[in-house]
């Protein structure tokens, strides 16, 4: 690039303000942002802060698809957004969102044809089309999937197909809106590798994301948004440890939080900057420990951050064998009609007051196990007791008095006109008295901080709060066991904090919680017992505090370790 | 509120293009769900068609009905293809019901359901007569036999059979669509253009 | 249900033909069954055209299997209802065991049944030997709106996913105590909680898909190109012309016969 000329700036926004039609408050306020070529620029912020709007603006969907009032200058790859139609902008900038399934056109039957679909619509001549599709497949590392149906692939693979389809149109700019929202940790790591490789090829990226740890690893620059305005803009190490992030409810990545706590406890050098990666955290803790070692000879274990104040203070009490069992699985085997043996001899007892994490790779049998906890599936062999009753002799609706399940896809659950009606549905099904229903509903509304939106339609809320409504709706059924399937997916830090308090409160009231999650840090910080599933069997069933090295290794191999355990296990 | 580009040939917006295939899949999926989970003696296999008609107008409704039957033919039974015309008219009628504002009261929707049912019966009778000989292999064939035994022609009996069973199914379908649409969030209604009709 | 509908992947005769040729053939066959005298035409076309074609296309058994499975209830019903209750002034009856069939009714059932086998069998053969993607591309290239083709293909591929979601909705609501195994009244109460999330989810999904349609420049102005070519040899083009001419001749003959008779 000629240094004398004005350097090429793929994304150039100047004083951009945008208000959606019908809205009173602007979604973007006076945003000025210049992203240089090849940069990975992350955009963070709470739900509703304007991250998605910014992505939609840079790709022309604002204001051409989502209408509203736009002021200021938005220029992407040299084109004014306001004066070019989307059909033209797609050659210059592509939008990829986290929901890959919806972005697969569905009009083509193989990955190869799917990636070519946009090029057909643009009228690209066949030889060039083939060349571009081949390039895009290689760039995303999905060459081997070319003849498969896009719908037969995993979420992570679908995500890469969608990016390949966008890149085949050869845009130099890519806007990714919450790209990890449906990915598990290995797929997230792979996506980060792909994006880094694209950045090396000169593609400029805007990545809106709420998983700060992932951003800390990936981004070269972080922009924090708060209510549509830029709150902070700079290097990740600076922005992600900026105190204003905590003041505005965005929070810090875990390593920074843990280091800050360590600093407060004197286990982190006061002049050392806070880390945003686990490596940085480990190095800092090691340095502080060796300083102290030289002074008073403390051993390494003491530099463990006290991440679980409550649990550690409780001490490690053995599992209470006498507590009343809520659900008992006894040598349960389950084979689907397709012949897949999903459970191969599972025995598990959930007792009152327990907080359990159910973890394992995709396909290990977690979903099948969850469906046994309330009788949705009945064992092929063995038996399941819910509230002391064999699920084969009762109905799901009756099991629902003992076990409430919030499934991952909350769309399948929500149907009522208002948040309050939605929450009322479950307890009313259970036949409680009107007074009891009222009390339970109001308590659930407060527990998930939904008081300000009780009369709104669940779908008029941002997705994160929709998930909280779904949880409240099952919480109000006041079951002995609450099962949460991937409850932290799509939640910002503030909502996750709410969830942690809820689970603590339930345990204090002798209610049990079972969480299915890939978010090991959340599990470790909130729950006591970890059950690892592998190939339809329980490979490990322990309290987090009692894990030995071999068990940690097993956990690490399948699902990874929470940061706090990683610091202990990977010897320092 | 929002716009999207429109295909020149068919006059369908990208929103319609996105919704219609899902509505067709819902017709098929609900047809199965209502029977397998609830085991109720109703079909409800045109909910998607009526939904699109009411939300997006007669053209989109007719296309949904027509193509839903083509899909049915492509995937399960090509013998369903001749009835595509009936499904198209159901979508068309739903579209007109939507344009006349039937969605704002339950009894107007019920009335639209009855009318749609009668019209559907009137159109399917000649098709059933000339292609299928008045019967379809379903339980309702008993009614055809009964009406013929009472002296009706094949065409007449086929229409009377439809006039008995179709209005009921369509009225229930319209009422369900009414209940769902009147509970929809404003943001979504705005996108599908029914809010200001 | 597979995403390619009834299509069976085989390297047979019909599979090699251009989809338009097969569509024209279907039109000619259906036209012939209505224009030529039944039941002879139906029987002849089924035995002389459809079955041999199915066998040289290596799908003979699957063709007969689906054809009978989808038509058998209607055919049985046809014989029973029209055989026993056909409105006729002809008093001739045929006794089969305890049942007294009307001769005119049986004749009607035979005529209609033979025609029905061709009317359903011809498109069945088309769908079993033509990949839906190829069929739609062929139709679009000869004038069908692209949006119609888009809707067909997407709907076809979405059915498994939407059915899966319908199961997910049922699971989520039963987990909230919705009784789906109780009496009729309880089950009717379940209709809305089961259907509503599916519809609302569909509308949300449609919004996301509309964005995808725009992002793939589906409605971009200008000429389109195709990744794949569908071969269309001259001979097939000629065959199509001949089939259309035959259909035209049949119609003309039938009209002339109508006026002369």
Residue in chain B closest to A456 (alpha carbons) equals: B185
Chains that touch C (3 or more CB pairs under 8 A): A, B
Q: What sign has the CA pseudo-torsion B107, B108, B110, B111?
A: positive
Q: Please name the helix (run of DSSP H) or strand (run of DSSP E) that holds residue A384, with its range, or none.
A: strand A381-386
**DSSP secondary-structure letter at A172?**
S
Residue in chain B closest to C169 (alpha carbons) equals: B33
Q: What is the DSSP string of C36-54?
A: SPTTHHHHHHIIIIIHHHH
pLDDT at position A309 is 45
B1 interfacial to chain A (CB closer than 8 Å): yes
Q: What's the whole-model pTM score?
A: 0.91
C160–A151: do the CB atoms touch at under 8 Å? yes
Residue numbers in chain B where pLDDT is lower than 50? 1-3, 8, 194-197
Spatial contact of A225 and A49, defined as CB atoms under 8 Å apart = yes
pLDDT at position A191 is 92
pLDDT at position B11 is 66
Identify all chain B residues contacting A459, using CB atoms and an 8 Å cutoff. Answer: 184-185, 187-188
Residue in A66, A85, A460 nearest the CB of B185: A460
**DSSP secondary-structure letter at A273?**
P
Tokens of residue A158, six digits: 């679908």
Residue in A65, A106, A460 nearest the CB of B4: A65
Identify all chain A residues contacting C211, using CB atoms and an 8 Å cutoff. Answer: 61, 65, 95, 97, 103
- CA B77 to chain C, closest CA, distance in angstroms equals 6
At residue A41, the 3 state secondary structure works out as strand
pLDDT at position C91 is 86
Q: What is the pLDDT of residues C193-218, one digit of tens each?
A: 989 999 998 988 998 899 999 999 99
C5 interfacial to chain A (CB closer than 8 Å): no
A460–B5: do the CB atoms touch at under 8 Å? no
pLDDT at position A266 is 87
- What is the number of other CB atoms lying within 10 angstroms of the CB of residue A184? 18
B81–C150: do the CB atoms touch at under 8 Å? no
Alpha-carbon distance of B169 to A353, in angstroms, equals 49
Residue in C153, C177, C201 nearest the CB of A477: C177
Residue % of chain A over a pLDDT of 90 = 75
Alpha-carbon distance of A555 to A373, in angstroms, equals 23
- CA A479 to chain C, closest CA, distance in angstroms equals 10
Q: What is the pLDDT of residues A136-190, one digit of tens each?
A: 999 889 999 999 999 999 888 999 999 999 999 989 999 999 998 878 888 889 8
B3–A416: do the CB atoms touch at under 8 Å? no
pLDDT at position A354 is 94
Identify all chain B residues contacting C194, using CB atoms and an 8 Å cutoff. Answer: 33-34, 37-38
Residue in chain B closest to A22 (alpha carbons) equals: B1
ipTM of the complex: 0.91
Q: What sign has the CA pseudo-torsion A491, A494, A496, A502?
A: negative
**Per-window interface: C 160-179 vs A, CB < 8 A:** 160-161, 165, 168-169, 171-179
Identify all chain B residues contacting C205, using CB atoms and an 8 Å cutoff. Answer: 18, 22
Helical segments of A405-548, H only: 419-429, 434-447, 463-475, 493-508, 520-526
- CA B115 to chain C, closest CA, distance in angstroms equals 23
Name which of A58, A87, A134 to mutate to probe chain C: the one with the most chain C Cβ atoms within 10 A of its Cβ.
A87
- Integer distance in angstroms from the first to the last C-alpha of chain C? 50
Identify all chain B residues contacting C165, using CB atoms and an 8 Å cutoff. Answer: 29
C87–B19: do the CB atoms touch at under 8 Å? no
Q: Which residue has the higher pLDDT, A570 or C137?
A: C137
Residue written as tokens 């209610």?
Answer: A511
C115–B131: do the CB atoms touch at under 8 Å? yes
Name which of A62, A66, A101, A418 to mutate to probe chain B: the one with the most chain B Cβ atoms within 10 A of its Cβ.
A66
Alpha-carbon distance of B180 to A417, in angstroms, equals 9
Identify all chain A residues contacting B186, using CB atoms and an 8 Å cutoff. Answer: 457, 460
**Per-window interface: A 403-432 vs B, CB < 8 A:** 415-417
Alpha-carbon distance of C1 to C178, in angstroms, equals 28
Name which of B2, B5, B17 to mutate to probe chain A: the one with the most chain A Cβ atoms within 10 A of its Cβ.
B2
Spatial contact of A532 and A538, defined as CB atoms under 8 Å apart = yes
Q: What is the pLDDT of residues C17-69, one digit of tens each?
A: 999 999 999 999 999 999 998 788 888 999 999 999 999 999 999 999 999 99
Q: In terms of residues, how long is chain A?
A: 572
Alpha-carbon distance of C35 to C24, in angstroms, equals 16
pLDDT at position C94 is 87
Alpha-carbon distance of C60 to C197, in angstroms, equals 42
Residue A343: name the closest of A378, A374, A376 by CA.
A378
- Mean pLDDT by runs of 10 across the 572 residues of chain A is 65 96 91 96 92 95 92 95 92 90 93 96 95 94 94 91 93 93 85 93 94 94 96 96 92 92 89 92 88 52 42 48 88 94 95 95 92 95 94 92 94 92 95 96 96 92 91 97 93 89 93 95 94 95 92 91 81 44
B5–A86: do the CB atoms touch at under 8 Å? yes
Identify all chain C residues contacting A121, using CB atoms and an 8 Å cutoff. Answer: 216-218, 220, 224
Q: Which residue has the higher pLDDT, A333 or C100?
A: A333
Q: What is the largest CA-CA distance in chain B?
A: 58
Alpha-carbon distance of A184 to A169, in angstroms, equals 28
**Which residues make Cβ contacts (< 8 Å) with residue A129, sequence separation at least 6?**
A116, A119, A120, C225, C227
Residue in chain C closest to A407 (alpha carbons) equals: C172
Name which of C168, C172, C203 to mutate to probe chain A: the one with the most chain A Cβ atoms within 10 A of its Cβ.
C172
pLDDT at position B192 is 76
CA A534 to chain centre: 22
Helical segments of A142-277, H only: 155-167, 185-200, 212-218, 236-239, 243-247, 254-264
List the Cα angle C144/A147/A161 in 5-degree steps: 85
Instruction: List, in sequence order, every beta strand (DSSP E) within A256-340.
Output: 325-335
Residue written as tokens 């069945």?
Answer: C124
């Amino acid at each position: 690039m000629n240094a004398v000329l004005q350097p090429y700036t793929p994304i150039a926004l100047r004083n951009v303000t945008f208000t959606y039609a019908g809205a009173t408050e602007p979604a973007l306020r006076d945003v000025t942002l210049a992203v240089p070529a090849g940069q990975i620029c992350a955009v963070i912020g709470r739900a509703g802060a304007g991250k998605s709007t910014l992505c939609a603006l840079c790709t022309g969907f604002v204001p051409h698809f989502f209408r509203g009032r736009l002021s200021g200058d938005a220029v992407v790859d040299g084109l004014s957004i306001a004066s070019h139609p989307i059909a033209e902008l797609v050659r210059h900038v592509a939008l990829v969102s986290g929901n890959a399934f919806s972005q697969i056109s569905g009009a083509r039957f193989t990955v190869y044809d799917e990636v070519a679909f946009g090029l057909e619509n643009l009228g690209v001549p066949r030889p060039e089309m083939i060349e571009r599709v081949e390039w895009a497949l290689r760039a995303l590392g999905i060459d081997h999937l070319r003849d498969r149906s896009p719908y037969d692939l995993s979420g992570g693979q679908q995500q890469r197909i969608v990016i390949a389809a966008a890149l085949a149109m050869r845009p130099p700019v890519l806007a990714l809106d919450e790209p990890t929202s449906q990915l598990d940790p290995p797929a997230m790591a792979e996506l980060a590798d792909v994006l880094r490789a694209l950045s090396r090829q000169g593609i400029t990226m805007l990545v809106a994301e709420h998983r700060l740890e992932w951003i800390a690893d990936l981004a070269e620059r972080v922009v924090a948004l708060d209510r549509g305005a830029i709150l902070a803009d700079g290097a990740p190490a600076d922005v992600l440890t900026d105190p204003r992030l905590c003041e505005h409810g965005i929070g810090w990545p875990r390593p920074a939080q843990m280091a800050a706590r360590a600093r407060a406890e004197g286990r982190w050098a006061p002049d050392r900057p806070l880390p945003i990666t686990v490596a940085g955290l480990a190095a800092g803790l090691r340095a502080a420990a060796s300083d102290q070692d030289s002074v008073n000879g403390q051993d390494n274990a003491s530099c463990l951050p006290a991440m679980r104040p409550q649990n550690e203070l409780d001490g490690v009490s053995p599992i209470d064998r006498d507590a009343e069992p809520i659900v008992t699985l006894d040598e349960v085997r389950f084979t689907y009609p397709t012949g897949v043996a999903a459970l191969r001899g599972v025995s598990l007892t959930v007792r009152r007051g327990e907080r359990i994490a159910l973890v394992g790779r995709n396909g290990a049998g977690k979903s099948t196990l969850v469906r046994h906890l309330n009788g949705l599936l009945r064992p092929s062999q063995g038996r399941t007791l819910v509230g002391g009753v064999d699920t084969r002799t009762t109905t799901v609706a009756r099991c629902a008095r003992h076990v409430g399940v919030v499934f991952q896809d909350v769309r399948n659950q929500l149907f009522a006109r208002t948040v309050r009606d939605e929450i009322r549905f479950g307890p009313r099904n259970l036949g409680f008295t009107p007074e009891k229903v009222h009390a339970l509903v109001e308590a659930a509304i407060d527990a998930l901080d939904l008081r300000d939106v009780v009369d709104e339609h669940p779908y008029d809320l941002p997705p994160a709060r929709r998930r909280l409504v779904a949880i409240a709706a099952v919480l109000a059924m006041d079951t002995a066991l609450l099962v949460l399937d991937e409850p932290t997916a799509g939640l910002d830090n503030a909502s996750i904090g709410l969830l942690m308090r809820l689970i603590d409160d339930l345990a204090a009231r002798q209610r049990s919680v079972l969480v299915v999650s890939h978010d090991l840090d959340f599990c470790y910080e909130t729950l006591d017992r970890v059950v690892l599933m592998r190939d339809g069997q329980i490979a490990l069933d322990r309290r987090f505090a009692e894990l030995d090295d071999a068990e940690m290794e097993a956990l690490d191999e399948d699902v990874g370790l929470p940061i706090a355990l990683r610091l202990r296990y990977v010897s320092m | 509120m929002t716009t999207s580009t429109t295909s020149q040939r068919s006059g369908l917006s990208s929103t319609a293009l996105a919704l219609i295939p899902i509505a067709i899949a819902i017709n098929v999926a609900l047809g199965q769900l209502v029977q397998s989970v609830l085991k109720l003696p109703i079909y409800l296999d045109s909910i998607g068609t009526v939904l699109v008609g009411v939300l997006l107008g007669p053209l989109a409704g007719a296309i949904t009905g027509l193509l839903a039957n083509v899909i049915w033919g492509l995937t399960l039974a090509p013998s369903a293809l001749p009835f595509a015309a009936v499904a198209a008219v159901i979508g068309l009628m739903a579209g007109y019901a939507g344009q006349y504002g039937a969605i704002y009261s339950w009894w107007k929707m019920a009335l639209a359901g009855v009318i749609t049912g009668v019209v559907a019966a009137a159109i399917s009778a000649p098709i059933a007569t000339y292609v299928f000989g008045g019967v379809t292999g379903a339980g309702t064939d008993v009614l055809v036999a009964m009406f013929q035994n009472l002296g009706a022609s094949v065409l007449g009996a086929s229409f009377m059979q439809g006039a008995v069973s179709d209005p009921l199914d369509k009225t229930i379908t319209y009422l369900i669509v009414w209940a769902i649409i009147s509970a929809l969030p404003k943001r979504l209604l705005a996108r599908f253009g029914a809010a200001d009709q | 249900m597979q995403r390619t509908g009834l299509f069976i992947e085989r390297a047979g005769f019909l599979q090699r033909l251009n989809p338009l040729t097969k569509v024209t053939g279907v039109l000619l066959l259906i036209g012939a069954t209505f224009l030529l005298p039944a039941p002879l035409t139906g029987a002849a076309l089924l035995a002389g055209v459809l079955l041999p074609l199915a066998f040289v296309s290596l799908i003979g058994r699957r063709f007969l299997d689906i054809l009978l499975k989808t038509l058998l209830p209607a055919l049985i019903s046809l014989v029973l209802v029209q055989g026993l209750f056909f409105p006729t002034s002809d008093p001739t009856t045929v006794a089969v065991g305890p049942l007294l069939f009307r001769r005119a009714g049986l004749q009607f059932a035979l005529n209609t049944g033979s025609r029905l086998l061709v009317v359903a069998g011809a498109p069945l053969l088309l769908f079993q030997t033509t990949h839906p993607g190829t069929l739609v591309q062929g139709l679009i290239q000869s004038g069908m709106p692209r949006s119609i083709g888009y809707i067909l293909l997407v709907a076809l591929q979405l059915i498994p996913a939407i059915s899966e979601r319908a199961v997910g909705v049922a699971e989520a609501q039963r987990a909230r105590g919705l009784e789906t195994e109780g009496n009729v009244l309880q089950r009717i109460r379940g209709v809305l909680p089961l259907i509503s999330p599916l519809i609302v989810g569909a509308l949300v999904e449609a919004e996301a898909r509309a964005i995808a349609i725009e992002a793939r420049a589906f409605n971009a102005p200008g000429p389109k190109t195709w990744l794949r070519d569908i071969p269309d040899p001259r001979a097939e083009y000629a065959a199509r012309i001949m089939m259309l001419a035959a259909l035209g001749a049949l119609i003309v003959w039938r009209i002339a016969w109508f006026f002369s008779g």
